[in-house]
A and B are shown apart, each in its own frame.
Chain A
Amino acid sequence: MTTRTEADTEAGERAGPPEVPRRLYADPGLPDRVFRGVARSGGGLVLAVMLLVGGFLLYRAWQALSKAGWSFLTTETWEPDAGRFGIAAVIVGTVLIALVAIMVAVPLAVGGALYISEYAPARIRQTLISVVDLMAAVPSVVYGLWGLFFFTSHVAGTARWISTYFGWIPVFSVQGADPDDPLVNATVYASSTLIAGMVVALMVAPIVCSVMREVFSQAPVGEREGAYALGATRWGMIRSVVLPFGKGGMIGGTMLGLGRALGETIGVYLVISPIFAVQWHVLQSGTSSISSLIALRYGEASEFGMSALMAAGLALFLMTLVVNFAASSIVARSRSGASSE
């Protein structure tokens, strides 16, 4: 190396042959080459498995999709063997359940996260963080049990109240329910989108809360103190420092929760009574979701029915994929982004 450099300097002084950039090459040696090979093949193996799952899903779904065509998106019934099947009903149900869940979970999660990071006394803060993180790991079947045995029987009164006083809003109206008719029993309000949404909301709230709390707690101390020094109240500081800093993380956490809410199976399956018609009324009994459709019909499906279920699964996968990528691109562009992964 030394000789090369000297030669180069001399060459430069003499302005002889043109300078060529030195070729940088380090021989990694045999062990390193083996290591790289192993790591690369490990990555390749995982890639192969993942692509296999995606590819197989697409391949099997294609049979059903090519037969159904665009009517796959507009048909409400699910009778694949009769040739009439589509995801219009289930996709509306899935999206409505997820929307109800997010609309309930996000205020709770923001409140919980702000409370833990800004208001809670330092003594109980660590405990609260652990509790919320633990709740995020609780199996969804536990939330389903709560929804099935506790919430369903206690929500009927509230549902009746909402539908009586807010029934003029189309989403809240319930067909077949008359508040003045004492003979109408509570079953018209059971197993509704609202109940499923609430169960999923409680399931995703700790996940969203955990992401948001992490982001809020990273708001820079200097800016917080600057706000206080300018005379801000605590809420003024939160509004002008913590919330703008955590915006990316809040959106990312919400999208993460939305992705989980779209794909949730058992919590929804336990509480709903499935119907295959577009159901806009969130308080009315009967709804459906893609994942519970799969759980319900996989056992009795023929080969073509399986392919149709695959197509439904693919549609669900694409939805969560779009949500996830949107979330990660929003998160990556924000100040608090990198930490909320």
Chain B
Amino acid sequence: MTTTPVRPKPRTVLPAGLPRPDSAEVGERRRVLVLRRASDVWALLGAAAASISITTLLFTRLLPLSGAVGFWVLAYLLFLGLYALLVSFDESGPAVRDKVAAVVVQSLGLITVVALVFVVVYAVFEGREALPHLNFYHQDMQAAGPLDPLSKGGILHAIVGTLEQITLALAFTVPAGLVCAVFLTEVPGRFARFVRTVVEAMTALPSIVAGLFIYATFILTFGFQRSGFAASLALSVMMLPIIIRASDVVIRLVPGTLREASYALGTSRWRTVWHVVLPTSRSGLTTAVILGTARGVGETSPVLLTAGFTAELNANPLEGPQVSLPLAVFEFVKSPEPTMIARGFGTAAVLMGLVLFLFILARVIGGRAPGRLTKRQEHRRVLASRRDAARFQARDHASKSSSIHGSSE
């Protein structure tokens, strides 16, 4: 700022007594915008050192206290108090509160993120013994007993089961869910409001109750076997309200102006839905479906009641019990054998890999506002527009020449 170029003509004339702005001693010195000062860092470090020392003294010499958690809780509370004290030496009341609140919020945020990441990393870490064995991915557990080493047996049956069950569930829920979501927004009325209320209520249905419903109707009343198909029905009952609700929100985000523009061009309702509403909300709808899928893939309780359990590969979802990944985890860790528990953790790691894949897919496809295009889509639009322009020009040209031709005749 000190090196503002001197403009030739219109300039501010400073009173004679004041020093010139570009002179060094007063001038506009660039302000330091960094919020963290050395004294803050020292206050933090000092408070931490003091609190740990005092707590150690209390725990080992003065008071009859013991236990790691108690130590850290006391140390943290002392740290907050000491930090407030140190800061209050050179700051006023509101600034002290601000500093202490910042420390509390940042430590809570850190604890949350670290705890969550730890839970996930723990499962993958414990599965490290099972994951490197290739047979883990292309064998089933038919020939492998609980005492067999990890180089025998795998979870192919669970992978196949999960993929088939979720595919079937998607085949039920995606058409029904999308049609219902379109109905809720595009055919408004009292009936649509009622359906929306019921769907919202059904999102509260606990997943185990969805499983219990299919178990009581499909298996007990109709007398079918437990099968992958029954599991996919239970998953559908659970996923349908989730997908409808998420898609409903996405479709409602489509700008009304787009719809009105389409109607103004004389388009009918279904053409507007098909050519304007659905393409505009495509990425959001995909995200809704994928996130619903991620919920369905990880759900254990509906599958526990309806799919049955088997250790062998069953590729036919319509007949016989079929196991899925979360259910396999559940059954593995019920065994006391360390190898089975290691297999359980490995299966959980595979399941999380699947969820992670779905999540990244949702991020890549979705995450854009309705109507926002990707680079490639934009490029395609530009090309189409150029083609149209060329076509119009050619037509204009043709009609002009034909009219000239006609007039000359």
Contacts and interface: CB of A to CB of B under 8 A. Distances in A.
A28 to B, nearest CB: 6
Given A28-B269, A141-B330, A295-B301, A263 B216 contact: no
A35 B186 CA distance: 10
B126 to A, nearest CB: 7
B208 A42 contact: no
A341 B249 contact: yes
A119 B321 CA distance: 51
Contacts of A141: 298, 300, 326, 329-330, 348, 351
A263 B67 contact: no
Interface in B349-363: 351-352, 355-356, 358-359, 363
B210 A266 contact: no
A60 B209 CA distance: 13
A95 interface: no
A32 B69 contact: no
Interface in B275-324: 291, 294-295, 297-301, 304-305
Contact of A53 (B186, B202, B298, B344): B202
B349 to A, nearest CB: 9
B79 interface: no
Contacts of A206: 116
B270 interface: yes
A118 B268 contact: no
A35 B270 contact: yes
Contacts of B326: 139, 141, 266
Interface in A152-209: 157-158, 160-161, 165, 202, 205-206, 209
Contacts of A202: 115-116, 119
A148 B341 CA distance: 11
A146 B209 contact: no
Contact of B176 (A45, A324, A328): A45
B98 interface: yes
A119 B301 contact: no
B105 A118 contact: yes
Contacts of B330: 141, 266, 270
A29 interface: yes
A321 B204 contact: yes
B264 interface: no
A270 to B, nearest CB: 7
Given A60-B216, A234-B102, A263-B206, A112 B301 contact: no
Interface stretch (B13-21, B23-31, B192-200): B192-200
A290 B315 CA distance: 33
Contacts of B273: 35
Main SS class of interface, A: helix
B179 interface: yes
Contacts of B199: 46, 50
B301 A161 contact: no
Contact of A46 (B97, B244, B351): B244
Interface in A316-341: 316-317, 320-321, 323-325, 328, 341
Interface string A97-124: 0000000000111111011101110000
Given A161-B69, A236-B94, A265-B206, A43 B300 contact: no
A105 B112 CA distance: 9
A134 B270 CA distance: 36
B108 A112 contact: yes
B291 A137 contact: yes
Interface in A132-151: 132-135, 137-143, 145-146, 148-150
Contacts of A161: 66-67, 69-70
A262 interface: yes
A298 to B, nearest CB: 6
A294 B208 CA distance: 8
B392 interface: no
Residues of A in contact with B, size category: 35 or more
A329 to B, nearest CB: 11
Interface centre among A32, A165, A266, A310 (most CB of B within 10 A): A266
Interface string B178-204: 011011101100011011001111111
Contacts of A148: 333
Given A51-B198, A108-B111, A143-B119, A138 B329 contact: no
Nearest to B35: A234
B176 A137 contact: no
Given A131-B113, A161-B67, A137 B355 contact: yes
A341 to B, nearest CB: 6
A73 interface: no
Interface in A40-57: 40, 42-47, 49-51, 53-54, 56-57
Nearest to B120: A138
A317 B201 CA distance: 9
A109 B207 CA distance: 24
A128 B116 CA distance: 11
A238 interface: yes
A7 interface: no
Interface in B228-266: 237, 240-241, 244-245, 249
Interface in B108-139: 108-113, 115-117, 119-120, 122-123, 126
Interface centre among B105, B122, B333 (most CB of A within 10 A): B105
16 contacts: A111-B112, A115-B110, A119-B102, A119-B109, A132-B113, A133-B359, A138-B355, A141-B300, A143-B119, A145-B329, A149-B126, A234-B98, A291-B206, A313-B212, A317-B209, A341-B245
Interface of A: 28-29, 31-32, 34-36, 38-40, 42-47, 49-51, 53-54, 56-57, 60, 107-112, 114-116, 118-120, 128, 130-135, 137-143, 145-146, 148-150, 157-158, 160-161, 165, 202, 205-206, 209, 233-236, 238, 259, 262-263, 265-266, 270, 291, 294-295, 298, 303, 306, 309-310, 313-314, 316-317, 320-321, 323-325, 328, 341
List the 4 shortest-distance A-B pairs measured between CB atoms, nearest first: A111-B108, A139-B298, A115-B109, A263-B206
